[in-house]
Chain A
Amino acid sequence: MANLKELRLRIGSVKNTRKITSAMSQIATARLRRAQNAALAARPYGERLQEVVAHLIGGIDPAERSSAHPLLEAREVAEGEEHTLYIAMTADKGLCGGFNGNINRSVLATLRTEREAGRKASLITIGAKGSGFFSRDEGLISKHAAPTLDTIVELSKAIAAEATGRFLGTAEGVDDDDRPNRVVLVYNHFVSVLTQEVTELQLCPLQPAEAEGGSSFQREPVFEPSRGEILEHLVPVTIESMLQQAMFNSVAAEIAARRVAMDAATDNASELIADLTLEYNRERQAAITSELMEIIGGAEALKG
């Protein structure tokens, strides 16, 4: 009989879990639309910006490109002195499938190979999950909270300023020895609701996407005040915008991953409940049968 009670309690607890997971999945579904719309709304800005930058930089002789703006400069460094600053973007919360784990694992593998090859690698983490995972890493520079739709603009500015400050060596406490010569962002790219792709994106030195199908300008536009001065403004903004786009992607991908994970958890719970209920009923029936047998046995004994 104890078994019956145990089963009943177990079913109750799995049902509670299912309530939670299905609520989380519903919340994620509702938030997903908002996040997707925000990511979609942000896209034209980012794309236009990329196009203008590509056009501006495309007009500069490749040999002089890296001197056009310090953030475009691919600095020559001695063998073994290469230093890459990674920015790992995770979420603040778990329960979203492989979302955080994929980033952490990929970054960890990269850090290891870089260091084994004798190159320096440092790290900025975004999101509590990545910060916790790498909290003992030797190259950890700073930790940030994960972006939300309301903080993306501010956060991307702050992180862009920090990363470019280090790259340029203008940030406080950065001497030439720990100046990274490359800044790479690792984030989850939102491919579809079902798939996220761990993506590496080089932020510095900035590599403009080649303008596809030539320029959208029919004639060479006038640059006011001058190409150089516009670049001066445009390059930092472009890096911010790349971070922003990545953050919009990451936020949408996190919510999508959570929805998928919670849907799967709800399905599993339903399956488990069905199995347990079947077992419970079987046990119950066995108990009734044995009780009946006892009563009949008793009655027979009295008759005789």
Chain B
Amino acid sequence: MADVKLDILTPLGAVREGIEVAGVEVPGIQGELGLLPHHESLVTAVTAGVIRFKEGNSSVRIAVGSGFLEVKEAGRVVILVERAVESSDVDAAAAKSARDEARKELDAYKGSVDAPEYRALHDRWAWNDAQVRAAS
């Protein structure tokens, strides 16, 4: 059976490189995306969320920040994200409190939603939320 060849790259190095998985689930900008072998060539944006795939018999969950995904011919999937952390490395309690704090600040925010501050705040919330979801 053909496999998906998966790369997960961040600016701080590769989280996974050239591993072969049966399929992978990615948080796309338009919703959750399941990629199987023979997927059409595709370029799309990834939002903060959780990437899931099976490595051997264990399922792996990786919290990622926003980024991009490209599917090339021959089932090669490259995911470029600004950061990534495996569910086993998440400090769930810290992420949870950071998420709740960011949520509170977001709720109290009165400025424009286009302002860089708002986006930074939202990114922080989304990233911590992704970590919490990966760990749970």
Contacts A48-B78, A219-B73, A225-B29; is A153 near B11 (CB within 8 Å)? yes
| Interface window among A124-132, A189-197, A227-235, A283-291 | A227-235
Stretch touching chain A among B41-49, B55-63, B91-99, B102-110: B41-49
Residue contact B66 to A222, C-beta cutoff 8 Å: no
**How far, in whole Å, are A269 and B135 apart by their CA atoms in the complex?**
56
Give B4-23 interface residues, CB cut-off 8 Å to A. Answer: 7, 9-14, 17
Chain B positions within 8 Å of A48 at CB level:
9, 70, 78, 80
Q: Does B72 contact A (CB under 8 A)?
A: yes
Interface residues on B, range: 20 to 34
Flag A32-58 by CB within 8 Å of B: 1 or 0 each.
000000100110111011001001100
Are B42 and A153 in contact (CB-based, < 8 A)? Answer: no
Q: How many whole Å from B101's CB to the nearest CB in chain A?
A: 18
How long is the Cα–Cα vector from A225 to B78 in the complex, in angstroms?
18
Contact assessment for B41 and A219 in the assembled complex, using a CB-CB cutoff below 8 Å: yes
Partner of A41, one of B7, B14, B41, B43: B14
Query: Is A221's CB under 8 angstroms from B70's CB?
Result: yes
Using Cβ atoms and an 8 Å threshold, which residues of chain A touch B80? 45, 48-49, 52
Count of interface residues, chain A, beta-carbon cutoff 8 Å? 34
A36 CB to closest chain B CB (Å) equals: 13
CB 8 Å contact bits of A235-246 with B (1 = contact, 0 = none):
001001100100
Residues in B whose Cβ lies below 8 Å from that of A46: 11
Contact A38 B43 (CB under 8 A): no
Instruction: Find out whether the CB atom of A38 lies under 8 angstroms from the CB atom of B12.
Output: yes
Digitize B29-43: 1 where CB-to-A-CB distance is under 8 Å, 0 elsewhere. Answer: 110000000001111
A223-B43 in contact given A42-B13, A45-B80, A48-B9 (Cβ < 8 Å)? yes
Check B14–A229 contact: CB distance below 8 A.
no
Are A222's CB and B41's CB within 8 A? yes
Q: In the bound complex, what is the Cα–Cα distance between A236 and B97 (angstroms)?
A: 29
- What are the nearest 7 A-B pairs in CB distance? A41-B13, A221-B41, A224-B44, A45-B9, A233-B45, A222-B42, A218-B73
Taking A224-B29, A237-B68 as known contacts, 12 extra A-B pairs with beta carbons closer than 8 A to each other, sorted by chain A number, are A41-B12, A44-B9, A46-B11, A52-B68, A55-B43, A220-B41, A221-B71, A230-B44, A230-B45, A234-B45, A237-B82, A241-B11
